Structure 1
Amino acid sequence: MNKKELRKQQIEKLRDFADNEEKDREDELLLDQIMNTELLKNSQTIGVTSSLPVEVDTSKLIACLWDEGKDVYLAKAHNDANHSQDFLHYTYKSKLEKSKFGIEEVSDLDAQINDDLDLIIVPGLAFALDTHERLGFGGGYYDRFLAKHPDSKTVALVNSKMAFPTANWKVEKTDIPIQTIITPKQILRG
């Protein structure tokens, strides 16, 4: 199956799962898992994306990070030919606006940019549990960013509908595997 078909299939599967009590339960388990990792405890600057309904909910995670005194940075995609992105400092006072992808991003013109983060929580549609390969939404924003910032640690929160035993999609040279994958049942390190 090609990536375009798999993305479409995954989005449908995740849409069906989005209004399910099981998704809420898994989101809570994923939140508990990540909040109890040494990876998170040893990180001060954390990059995250404001989640879409089909993704693992990051709103409670962000609130917990603030409660822990962590510095939170939200991803902001740029409308350029390079499909670049930055991470902007995000507090409860930050102004947000929806991007062309429907994702809330910091809109404050004076928001601090920090692209050298301790930890980045990487979103996606599908994750291979054996190789930690990721299938994103198709823009290449995260792969390009991670290639330029290899020192940041990466983690993905992966619910049961996003987890694949192995990548059944074509993996490109430019695809960057995720270092740590957290599922509701386990933590897998690459």
Structure 2
Amino acid sequence: MTDHTPPPTDTRADANAAPNGADATADGSVKPREAPIAVLQVEPDARSAELLEAFASRHTDRVRVRSVESAGAALDALEAGVDVGGERVAVDCVVTEQLLPDRDGLALTERLREAGGGLPVVFHTTCPGEEREAAAFGAGADAYFEKGADRGRYDAILDRIRALVDERRDRGGDAGRAAATTPASPRSEE
């Protein structure tokens, strides 16, 4: 995995830090940082999709992963939003495989960048190699992870997703989770 942005502050190392990435208020009470994070995973392999979904649901109450099998289905989901806890919400981050049945992850990332909005894109892929990684970053990816079944890798992916989404929300990206459908929807250019 190569990530070209500074790492998030690790609150686990600070005994006085608020739990679950929350911020402490001036009076010492804890307030939730933001709403849960809705992740759209674009993964044609059902088993691989299941691994990230299951890991997120077991190890964090903040990141909710929903999966689709193709770039076309991802564009539809981005326009309509995804179901999180019975509520349709805007997607906060896309995690994509590079090899997709209808187009590659690079083309999907380029489409998302053309649509604007700064939606974080993380590659989680079976495609190793510096050239493929460089191509992903060239298309606008925010992070690149090669697939593997070790817990550390999934922890790193979830940490990176949280950091990217928190940073985007802090900047006011997408009006902090506005409506699922935006005027510059990624689907509008097809």
TM range (shorter): 0.3 to 0.5
- Name the structure where helix makes up a greater proportion of residues: 2
- Name the structure where strand makes up a greater proportion of residues: 1
TM-score, normalised with respect to structure 1: 0.41
